[in-house]
Amino acid sequence: MANMVLDPKRLIDRSIADLTQLSILLTAEISDDAASRSPELRACEEAVATIDSLIPRLQVARNARIAPLRSGTCPNCDD
């Protein structure tokens, strides 16, 4: 596999988009199953709350100076 440079801002943007979509899907599941108070439904509610808390933090972190990372390398390994 060729080494690729991972741009932190693009990775964060993609993560925000994916988390937003997941939150929408989970919220729809919660709305569709509102009468049920199953453990799964509570887990979906907790996941949405966590995502809603995480997205603003990721938006702020997007502006941090983070050096690009080359894929295929392990920052904690002795290569």
Three-state SS string across 57-68, please?
HHHHHCCCCCCC
Please report whether residue 50 resides in a domain. Answer: yes
Please report whether residue 44 resides in a domain. Answer: yes
Please report whether residue 71 resides in a domain. Answer: no
Q: Which pLDDT tens digit goes with each residue over 5-58?
A: 578 899 999 999 999 999 999 999 888 766 777 888 999 999 999 999 999 999
Write down the pLDDT at residue 29. Answer: 85
- Whether 75 has a pLDDT exceeding 60, the answer reads no
Report the domain count for the chain: 1
Q: What is the pTM of this model?
A: 0.72
Alpha-carbon gap, residue 27 to 52, rounded angstroms: 11
- Whether 70 has a pLDDT exceeding 80, the answer reads no
- pLDDT band for 74, please (50, 70, 90 cuts): low
Alpha-carbon gap, residue 43 to 31, rounded angstroms: 14
Domain region containing 22: 13-65
